A and B are shown apart, each in its own frame.
Chain A
Amino acid sequence: MEPSRLGKHVLLRASKKLRFKIGLVIVVVMVAMAILAPYIAPYPDEGLGRVPLDGEGRRLLPPSPQHLLGTDTLGRDLLSRIMFAARAALMQSTIVIALSLVIGLVVGSFAAYFKGFVESVLTYLTELFMAVPSLVIALFIRLATNTPGYHVVIVSLTLTWWAWYARISYVYAKGIVELDYVVLAKLAGLHPLKIVGRHILRVIFQPMAVQAISDLGSALLEASAINFMGLGLPRDYPDWGVILFEGLRELSVIAFIRAPWLVVFPGLFILITTLGFALLADPLREELDPRLSRRWRLWF
């Protein structure tokens, strides 16, 4: 499919906004950090988890020119750890959102197009999955498989996340299925799959994609929460949630007094990345649906 000019237009208009630029810079920096971590990290080995030989003497050093963000409980450079952790963070949230988007789009548009039995089954299913908290599912998966790893985070988050996309795309699609071009295509005997693909999915994809971009941050938050609880990635894995958790586990609440950098910096990175995705997606959404941005101008 050739790039739609509507999409380009939206991108162009949004890119003029300061928020979009800030968001873009944050996201680009994070992605670059994740990709280039082995080359730009000051102590790449330590970033991957190797404890330095003189680790004993370097435990919990405060930020200094040698260790810009200080060292952790095993004496490793925190900045290197955080740089490598960006990989895990971006990977988890991207995979979760992409899977959820695909499932949600398909379920939502099918529910809206095939009315009656299919619609009620799919909407009930959607509501069922919306009701389950991802942390509980993560706990179950962790206990059932008994191995920590990416699968716990991705499966548990996708299972709960797709339902939101299914709900939103269902609502979007519901407004489209009654339009003339869908009804006429249906009456003319076009294959239902073709109608859904050509006339429904295609139309709802753009707003859904923007929604997905802004949700990348929220998915990162949730993934970090699961990792923080120790349910997802294994101990010592470079991930912001895991690093945060380890800081707190070793030192409990005293961490905030004895080594605040250990909990503050990973948390800060989670926060900034989430913010970056939100800043990036918000102007896009406004441009895609101009009523959102123009409404307040009418009011004042």
Chain B
Amino acid sequence: MVLAVKAEGVKIGYIDEEDRVQWAVRGVDLEIGSGDSFCIVGESGSGKTTLANAIAGILPPHAIIQGRLIIDGKLVLDNGRLDFNGVRGRIVSYIPQNPGTSLNPFMTVEEHFYYILRDTKSLSRREARRIALESLMKVGLDQSVLEMYPHELSGGMQQRVTIAIAIASRPKIIIADEPTSSVDANLRAGILKLLNRLNRELGLTLIMVTHDIYSAAAVCNKVAVMLVGKIVEMGEVKALLYDPRHPYTRILLNCVPVLGVKKPLKPLVGEPPRLYSDIKHCPFLDRCPFAVETCKVEPLLEPVDEKRDHVVRCWRFKELKSVEL
């Protein structure tokens, strides 16, 4: 199977005003197969958006990047050297978080398609219009949307338009950065269904970033849980939901309210550590209820069982399996 994305020790940091580097992603290795739907879950500041932006090739210029990133067989990132030509917008495409501010209010939907298709594929206006219509059909919108301005569309329609724009240039990989954060629960289900359908029907590799582990479960077949710039647990969605091994994943799953079930929702106390210095201990040390002396050294990603596709970064995952939270 061809790998859609292969990351080897990717580290991404941002330089702040005082010339300090704040590492958002501190070494991520992952492999995403072609046609997979992959989800990156994590709290705010865990580096999930930065990682997704790196794959989409839209990191700001003040970002510092290390490691290797191979997208669809092309080495786009080799120890600080970036080469996204021919990849960004053509192979990888991006669905922004806020459709409202991501569309130019003075351009019709059709013009959005036209400028993007002209720049990526040098299509004429008529061809662009045809492809725009095709893409809009795929996301469940009709022809009338073409002549509208973004402010004439509802939030859900705007999000659908951004998805249609993302698939218009026929990419192989789509990055969706919290696509459901700005729509209500009903539309969220619709958008997730749509992404799921696109993933299946067009054979797209979908990489979704979210903080809602259950909407991840609804769409994706693989999930990676990120914490303080590192992946702490990764595996098939079923394995991860039914048999979470990392304490953080367990707490994350435990604090989701379930309809019809009365249970106390435990908050996760404490704050994620600052990312200025290189953290040598387990990223969850300060907040973990099971922390012991060994946790002062950072654990490695280890496979849970012999199938080797469910990995976890915890020293005590075996003994903690039977311990209640």
Contact = CB atoms under 8 A, between A and B. Distances in A.
Contacts of B60: 187
Interface string B91-128: 00010111001111111000000010001000000000
B59 interface: yes
A203 B94 contact: no
Contacts of B102: 180-181, 184
Interface in A186-205: 187-190, 198-199, 202-203
A203 B101 contact: no
Contacts of A184: 58, 94, 96, 102
B89 interface: yes
B88 interface: yes
B149 interface: yes
B89 A188 contact: yes
B59 A187 contact: yes
Interface string A146-189: 00000000000000000000000000000000011100100111
B96 A190 contact: no
Interface size bucket, A side? 10 to 19
Interface in B57-108: 57-60, 84, 88-89, 94, 96-98, 101-107
Nearest to A198: B115
Given A5-B149, A188-B88, A180 B98 contact: yes
A202 B104 contact: yes
Nearest to A178: B101
B149 A190 contact: no
A180 B147 CA distance: 22
A6 B106 contact: yes
Bin chain B's interface residue count. 20 to 34
A181 B106 contact: no
- Which of A184, A187, A202, A203 has the most chain B CB within a 10 Å cutoff? A187
In the complex, which of the residues B89, B94, B104 has the most CB atoms of chain A within 10 Å of its own CB atom? B104
Interface in B39-71: 53, 57-60
Contact of A181 (B59, B101, B147): B101
A4 interface: yes
A6 B105 CA distance: 10
Contacts of A180: 96-98, 101-102
Nearest to A189: B88
A203 B119 contact: no
A119 to B, nearest CB: 16
Given A180-B96, A180-B98, A187 B58 contact: yes
Given A187-B59, A188-B88, A189-B88, A203 B106 contact: yes
Contacts of B58: 184, 187-188
Contacts of A6: 106, 149
Interface in B133-148: 147
A53 B84 CA distance: 82
Given A187-B59, A190-B119, A202 B96 contact: no
Contact of A198 (B53, B94, B104): B104
A199 B98 contact: no
B122 to A, nearest CB: 14
Contacts of B59: 187
Contacts of A199: 104
Nearest to B94: A184
Contacts of B149: 5-6
Interface string B282-301: 00000000000000000000
Cβ-closest 3 pairs across A and B: A187-B58, A180-B102, A180-B101
Interface of B: 53, 57-60, 84, 88-89, 94, 96-98, 101-107, 115, 119, 147, 149
21 contacts: A4-B106, A5-B147, A5-B149, A180-B98, A180-B101, A180-B102, A181-B101, A181-B102, A184-B58, A184-B94, A187-B59, A187-B60, A188-B58, A189-B84, A189-B88, A190-B119, A198-B104, A202-B106, A202-B107, A203-B105, A203-B106
